[in-house]
Structure 1
Amino acid sequence: MDFKYEVIVIGGGHAGCEAAAAAANMGSKTLLITMDMNKIGQMSCNPAVGGIAKGQIVREIDALGGQMGIVTDKTAIQFRMLNKSKGPAMWSPRAQSDRAQFILKWREILENTANLDIWQDTVTSLDIKNNEIKGVKTAMGVNFSAKSVILTNGTFLNGLMHIGKVQLIGGRIAEPSSSGISEQLGEIGFKVERMKTGTPVRIDGKSVDFSLMEEQKGEDDFHKFSYLDYPAKTLKQLSCWICYTNEEVHNILRKGLPDSPLYNGQIKSIGPRYCPSIETKIVTFADKISHQLFLEPEGVNTQEYYLNGFSSSLPLDIQLNALKEVPAFRNIKIYRPGYAIEYDFFDPTQLKHTLETKLVKNLFFAGQINGTTGYEEAAGQGLIAGINAHINIHGGSEFILKRNEAYIGVLIDDLVTKGVDEPYRMFTSRAEYRILLRQDDADMRLTEKSNIIGLAKSNRLHLLEEKKNEISRIIDFTENYSLKPEYINSTLETLGTSPLKQRTRLKDLLTRPQININNIEEHISTFKTELDKIPNRKEEIIEAIEIKVKYDGYIKREEIIADKINRLENIRIKGKFDYDNILSLSTEAREKLKRINPETIAQASRIPGISPNDISILLVLLGR
């Protein structure tokens, strides 16, 4: 039998879920094919969403009308805003989730999404004719035709797991790998490579002495991931726990190094630099006598804990004996050891910014298949792939986010322009415009754009307009309301800031580091009256106002810089040059420009190995 769809998504992980939901919600008849419906949205590694820069991505996903923020809020068992001691450009939301509830919430959303079907099976080959995707074939022998296909295979393409010398074929523990697709795409010209990553031991909480650990509770305030107006933290809130390795632990680990696939060369694949295994840590940081371990609860109804910081591929006995040297783990029992996994990925420079492949029309890649690591990076790619798959079928302009518009834009531009030499993980340092890409204003940046293409619905637009109006109203008030010294000076002295010498606008007073809206509003009754008029999400709106007032100068300066760079984004060069014949360019520049084939001068300037002189030559030739 042959079943017809407009968009088919292969893989039910974080990228696949977002891609399928986006395409379906925009109106495409969509099919999600997954090996196991009971593992949809599975958190393969730690049971947490967000963190440094990753939390910003989740807020962007939500602002665009994606689902990850909603799923995380509904299943959160702890929430924290990281980096609050730093400026707001660095604030990053992070939540622990109940792993089982996370899967159930994703299934609930997907199974009740119009235009979306789910099929449990394994895709074994793609139907490609004249460099255009036509459909897929599954292990059950079912043919599905499609106008567009999105591959989000995660670690399942020829996945191979390692625990010491033990090797297990699979894409995740106790789950089979997938073969056939890598080989097929390699034969038609795709560059296929191998990547590796690891995951830690899972611990039985009944065997842990929590009295010997440092407790880390969550925060009980208004922060959450989604901009939608609903109560968060509805599940029981749980603590995380901190302890440390020691020299005895390290000594045992060193004895196992010859049998560590992540360290001894047994795995030849590319590995992560920023999330190294515990065996890599004790060698790279040999002078350190301890490393922090972070024990994360897996859910409200389980004793399973995830030991962050102890990713390993060491033999089972080495892992267990080393852990027993940590005082809190003297009587440790585990559910399963840590393991390493290697898998196929595709060089992401083979993609357009839409995440459509350059070699096959209407074939998209998203997630770890592109060399990234992390749920959030995968989900962001999945969302963009789903949007553009729908647009390719139904018409409209391609949906691409610029580097000054979203961390998702930075992520995708880095991938398709620079490629990867290790599993790509998002950091705030990768973004040139961190002040413009804050977690608090992702809705301001992206919701209107998404509403135009039909993904973010009218309820989101209404909430955004309400928020923008209230921010504008309160800021206008602070600009026009002045304070006399005799009225406010005693309060200012109490708050540890210098008194006024003349009438001063409230806005100027709020720029002082010692002053914030919460500690000054009770002393200015007119101001408090204005704030009390905010109808909904008062705390969120007040925080946004404060950031805009205090950092106004920095924000405007970065906007000016971004505007200048964006002029180069508008100078299109794709198809205008035969790079082989521009002999004034360096050999390296000619080769890389030919391979990447950048869309614009700005993208060309970001290709590693392209010098300012090379860009000047291209600009001169354009002038001619």
Structure 2
Amino acid sequence: MISEIYDVIVVGAGHAGSEAAAAAANLGSKTLLITMNMQTIGQMSCNPAMGGIAKGQIVREIDAMGGYSGIIADKSAIQFKMLNLSKGPAMWSPRTQNDRMLFAEEWRYALENTKNLDFFQDMVKSLIIENHKVVGVITSLGIKIKAKSVVLTNGTFLNGLIHVGDKQLGGGRMGEPKAFGITEQLVSLGFESGRMKTGTPPRVDGRSLDYSQMDEQKGDEKPQKFSYSDTPKLTKQLSCHIVYTNETVHDILREGFDRSPMFNGTIQSTGPRYCPSIEDKINRFAERNRHQLFVEPEGWRTVEIYVNGFSSSLPEEIQIKAMKHIPGFQNVKVFRPGYAIEYDYFPPTQLYHTLETKLIQNLYFAGQINGTTGYEEAAGQGLMAGINAHNKVHDKGDFILNRDEAYIGVLIDDLITKGTEEPYRMFTSRAEYRLLLRQDNADIRLTSKAYDLGLADEQRLRNVEEKISKSDELENYLKETSLKPGIINPVLQSIESSPVDQAYRASQILTRPNITIEKLEEIDFIREKSQQFSEEVKEQAEINIKYRGYIEKEKENVAKLNRLETIKIPEDFDYSNINSLSSEAKQKLNKVKPHSIAQAGRISGVSPADINVLLIYLGR
């Protein structure tokens, strides 16, 4: 028995667990992080990359909230790209390619230098529950550790089962044992559980590849970074490469379909819709004669390569035979084959928005245990669970981000309100207010909240206030500066934009789709002024001017929605007695138990007519 009573115990040290432990400890809770293997803290189990479409926004939000993911990603980056630059700023998404080993090393270093945080290596096999409240854990060694709250972030380890062709291995990752006992205990307490599947592609020896047969994909010429802190910018980058499968590759893969656990009934759980295995792709999209693959380096000091897009659970000899017919892969040497993994999860409608379970007090779930996929989605949940576990044991209020405040808020609300029967992945299209939730303004949206919590210091708050002030100053200058035709027309003509026949404000010219502040800097007095501002401030001012009408419209929509958020529904409200509600609405509302009319309206199966009935019934 470990005699110390912890405020927060976090089970699992992946992306969710690491962020949860850091948040709770930095807020002042005496925190214990329990992991089955101290050597795999912060491990990138799948692709060696952070961010991407919508996921990059989450990483920036975590950073603005005082989390570590953005800092770790910057310190271990080997390439940076801003995705979707050809689209509007709501779609711009930062992404880093990372050094896998350095990423985990930086995570462990950061956690070991976090005050109030202890570590223990063992498997948690059960929880200690008293009067519907969690009060500790029991490890596989029989050690009892008391705690005021517990955060479960078990990833793919709960009864994990690995598939390679017709071979099956128990494990949470290749070479690592599965965790057992927790699912069975939670089910016995009344929790509903399910099974999900994910997969990973082969890792190969980069020395055996011929890159001359592939298309090189370099990083951005002016690489940015995730963190709003003073993390280093990339000065050199490693290239990725793009290559395509072909009909020969597909024919060889089809040879193994009868031994594929996906097609012979061995795997019956649901895999990620937006990251399908290669066999799933050639089966579902039979009309396509090729599929894109990204050849991604694993780090600065390794020859290991991640074959992104070739996730597979086919027999290893079929995987290798097929790969040899990919251009540049003729002499490929495989470090390890791809595999699929099945694991237990708990439908997230069993949680409150704080990620505390409804059945057991002070017990929180974060990450893949909630049915999500992706490092970023897991890390965002871990951060929120760590904050709320700390707040609960210190008698502080719930901390919830709304859908108009953060992608993290969209993620958690989607999970709690709609549930998920397949691995949930974040996309910009899931956020109805995505123009407000841009990657460039995460610090403006969230730093003050982090400061109020105690996760951001005063300097970070001042930095944000200065950014806002400078952006306003530049906006005002552009609104007040008049540009006569003789000054602006040469600039307009250089990009084949219609000339003007009278003076216009610089801000009005800037609203043209192909005009930027950088283009206006061709005018001497504008360049002289804009040189006083950072690139970050100029970007903020330009977006605010160009999209002001759309941004104001979204803010109006938020205000309307927030009026419905203020109409609260009692937690013990029984919908069964309201005859005017549809049967499906009664069932869904009783299961989810929404806290407000706005949340009720987001439940699939609850119609506008049902909402009107509720409004009338609640006297509104």
Q: TM-score range by the shorter chain?
A: over 0.9
Q: Give the structure 2 partner of residue 604 of structure 1.
A: 600
Q: Does 1:562 align with 2:561?
A: no
Q: RMSD of the alignment, in Å?
A: 1.2
Q: Which amino acid aligns with 2:482?
A: S
Where does 1:342-357 land on structure 2 (aligned, <5 Å)?
342-357=342-357
Q: 1:487 & 1:578 partners in 2: Cα distance?
A: 69
Q: Does 1:457 align with 2:457?
A: yes
Where does 1:295-374 land on structure 2 (aligned, <5 Å)?
295-374=295-374
Q: Give the structure 2 partner of residue 155 of structure 1.
A: 156
- Matched residue pairs, number? 619
Contact 2:355 2:364 in 1 (8 A): yes
Q: Does 1:104 align with 2:100?
A: no
Q: Give the structure 1 partner of residue 87 of structure 2.
A: 86
Q: Give the structure 1 partner of residue 205 of structure 2.
A: 204
Moved more, 573-582 or 310-319: 573-582
> What SS is found at the alignment partner of 1:194?
strand
Q: 2:150 & 2:217 partners in 1: Cα distance?
A: 43
Moved more, 134-143 or 350-359: 134-143
Where does 1:9-158 land on structure 2 (aligned, <5 Å)?
9-158=10-159
Unpaired runs of at least 5, structure 1: none
> What SS is found at the alignment partner of 1:327?
coil
Residue 140 of structure 1, CA deviation: 2.3
Residue 222 of structure 1, CA deviation: 4.8
Q: 2:573 & 2:148 partners in 1: Cα distance?
A: 32
TM-score by length of 2: 0.98
Where does 1:175-254 land on structure 2 (aligned, <5 Å)?
175-233=176-234, 236-254=236-254
Could you give the per-residue CA deviations for residues 358-392 of structure 1, whole angstroms, max 9, x where no partner exists?
00101000000000000000000000000101110
TM-score by length of 1: 0.98
Q: Which amino acid aligns with 1:510?
A: L
Q: Which amino acid aligns with 1:530?
A: K
Q: 1:595 & 1:488 partners in 2: Cα distance?
A: 61
Q: Which amino acid aligns with 1:132?
A: K
Q: Which amino acid aligns with 1:75?
A: S
Q: 1:357 & 1:486 partners in 2: Cα distance?
A: 66
Residue 540 of structure 1, CA deviation: 1.4
Moved more, 594-603 or 216-225: 216-225
Residue 479 of structure 1, CA deviation: 1.3
Q: Give the structure 2 partner of residue 496 of structure 1.
A: 496
Q: Give the structure 1 partner of residue 381 of structure 2.
A: 381
Q: Which amino acid aligns with 1:30?
A: T
Could you give the per-residue CA deviations for residues 547-601 of structure 1, whole angstroms, max 9, x where no partner exists?
1111111111111111111111111013363211111111111111111110000
Q: Give the structure 2 partner of residue 432 of structure 1.
A: 432
Q: Give the structure 2 partner of residue 422 of structure 1.
A: 422
Q: Which amino acid aligns with 1:5?
A: Y
Contact 1:125 1:181 in 2 (8 A): yes
Q: 2:419 & 2:93 partners in 1: Cα distance?
A: 26
1:584 to 580, 583, 596: 580
Q: 2:223 & 2:172 partners in 1: Cα distance?
A: 38
Residue 522 of structure 1, CA deviation: 3.1
Could you give the per-residue CA deviations for residues 382-427 of structure 1, whole angstroms, max 9, x where no partner exists?
0000010111011322111111111111100000011101000001
Could you give the per-residue CA deviations for residues 113-169 of structure 1, whole angstroms, max 9, x where no partner exists?
011111111111101100101011112222211111000000000000000011011
Residue 473 of structure 1, CA deviation: 0.8
> What SS is found at the alignment partner of 2:256?
helix
Kindly tell me: are residues 491 and 79 of structure 1, through their superposed partners in 2, closer, same or farther at Cα, counting changes over 3 Å?
Answer: same
Could you give the per-residue CA deviations for residues 502-548 of structure 1, whole angstroms, max 9, x where no partner exists?
221111111112221112113141x22322223xxx11111111111
Q: Give the structure 2 partner of residue 482 of structure 1.
A: 482
Q: Which amino acid aligns with 1:600?
A: S
Q: 1:79 & 1:216 partners in 2: Cα distance?
A: 11
Q: Which amino acid aligns with 1:418?
A: K
Could you give the per-residue CA deviations for residues 438-470 of structure 1, whole angstroms, max 9, x where no partner exists?
111011111111111111222211211111111
Q: Give the structure 1 partner of residue 444 of structure 2.
A: 444
Q: 1:475 & 1:509 partners in 2: Cα distance?
A: 13
Q: Give the structure 2 partner of residue 528 of structure 1.
A: 527
Could you give the per-residue CA deviations for residues 26-56 of structure 1, whole angstroms, max 9, x where no partner exists?
1111111111111111000000001111111
Moved more, 394-403 or 18-27: 394-403
> What SS is found at the alignment partner of 2:522?
helix
> What SS is found at the alignment partner of 1:444?
helix
Could you give the per-residue CA deviations for residues 47-76 of structure 1, whole angstroms, max 9, x where no partner exists?
000111111111111111111000000100
Moved over 6 A (4+): none
Q: Which amino acid aligns with 1:115?
A: N
Q: 1:143 & 1:233 partners in 2: Cα distance?
A: 46
Q: Which amino acid aligns with 2:46?
A: C
Q: Which amino acid aligns with 2:521?
A: E
Q: 1:492 & 1:420 partners in 2: Cα distance?
A: 50
